[in-house]
Amino acid sequence: MTAQPMNLGAAPHRAVPGLDVDKAMFDAARQRLALPDRLFALEQLDCLYDDSAATLWTFMRPKGRPSFNPAMLSDFTKWQVDIATAFGPTGVPLDFLVLGSRVPGVFCYGGDLDLFGSLIRAGDRAGLIRYRRACVEILHRNMACLDLPLVTIGLVQGDAMGGGWEALMSFNVIVAEKGVKFGLPEIKFNLFPGMGAHAILSRKVGSAMAERMILSGEDYTAEQLHAMGLVHVLAEPGEGVAAVRDYIKRERRRLAGHVGAHRSMRMAKPVTLDQLVAIVTEWADTALKLSESDLKIMRFIVNRQRNYQLPDADGDQAARLPIAG
């Protein structure tokens, strides 16, 4: 299918930051391109398709704390299914898939610690495994680029902690604004990352450094991770979107090379779903050993995270992201 020229699209029922798109034009383009309606009606993900660059931009807009709550995981599963079905060589062109956040100052704080606490107190091992398995299945599909010939880009304009950073590890390219922080704080409440940080980091920076990152609980700046090769593009504060657009413009002519190189790296150092699920099981068993003092630390972190909730359901006061231009 050959896409017709247009600018950016947005869900017809929801304002999209930084865009002024004629509703009738977008609706006509969506119909012409056979884009699935569900993709643009997700509760906690805002999607925008840039036809001119064959790029799908997606921004997390969590309800409540900026973490992977169960409803957001459900949205991510639908998002992946719809992308894999509608886009690609036999569908709508898609060269780049970008994920960012609409929460000012935060990319994502990872797992739903409030839920974890409840499940741990209830001794619900199956519930812990079910939640984490949903996470790693989404992560693993993203690592494989949904079996499409595209490049995935994580856009980091705010802090990425715990599972938020683990999720970013599944992207081909990370574009981060200077000063944002990354960390794996789970050891602070006697746990460890449960979405595959061990498997992914050890392949990227070696086992010793991966162990240090996981067991120290230290935070790292975007600049530090760029020096280590874990962040690929550094952007000035507030310029993350522009940096992604520049990267796409610069690298699109070499897309086939990028896709082939990333596939070859996955072949050379594969991370299997079975490995991730095994880590999930170990994580759940460890979580059930947490003491009341550990759970109090977890609760303290949950309460701090509430300071970063979007102020309203529609995100009208959320960070405005100037995609167009």
Q: What is the pTM of this model?
A: 0.89
pLDDT for res 312: 58
**Chain centre to alpha carbon of residue 11:** 20
pLDDT for res 314: 45
Do residues 198 and 225 touch, judged by C-beta distance below 8 A? no
pLDDT for res 21: 42
Do residues 255 and 93 touch, judged by C-beta distance below 8 A? no
Side-chain half-sphere CA neighbours of 108 within 13 A: 29
Q: Considering only CA atoms, which of 164, 49, 26 is closest in space to residue 96? A: 49
pLDDT tens for the chain, 325 residues long, are 333 333 333 343 344 343 334 455 555 566 778 788 899 999 999 998 888 899 999 999 999 999 999 999 999 999 999 999 999 999 999 999 999 999 999 999 999 999 999 999 999 999 999 999 999 999 999 999 999 999 999 999 999 999 999 999 999 999 999 999 999 999 999 999 999 899 999 999 999 999 999 999 999 999 999 999 999 999 999 999 999 999 999 999 999 999 999 999 999 999 999 999 999 999 999 999 999 999 999 999 999 998 888 875 444 433 334 444 4
Alpha helices in the chain (DSSP H): 23-33, 70-86, 113-121, 125-143, 163-168, 197-205, 207-216, 222-228, 240-251, 255-268, 273-287, 292-305
- CA quadruple 36, 40, 42, 44: dihedral sign: positive
Residue 29 CA to residue 27 CA, distance in Å, equals 5
120: Cβ–Cβ under 8 A, 6 or more apart, which residues? 128, 287, 288, 290, 295
pLDDT in tens, 290-314: 999 999 999 999 999 988 888 754 4
pLDDT for res 100: 97
Query: What tokens were used for 204?
Result: 């990227």
**Letter for the amino acid at 78?**
K
pLDDT for res 52: 86
pLDDT for res 120: 98
Q: Considering only CA atoms, which of 117, 115, 118, 108 is closest in space to residue 67? A: 108
pLDDT for res 25: 52
pLDDT in tens, 65-116: 999 999 999 999 999 999 999 999 999 999 999 999 999 999 999 999 999 9
pLDDT for res 16: 38
Domains and CATH numbers, the chain: 23-308 (3.90.226.10)
pLDDT for res 51: 86
Residue 53 CA to residue 185 CA, distance in Å, equals 37
Residue 223 CA to residue 31 CA, distance in Å, equals 43
Residue 176's DSSP bridge partners are: 156, 234
What phi and psi values does residue 154 have, to the nearest 5 degrees? -95, 120
**Looking at the chain, how many residues does it have?**
325
Do residues 227 and 209 touch, judged by C-beta distance below 8 A? no
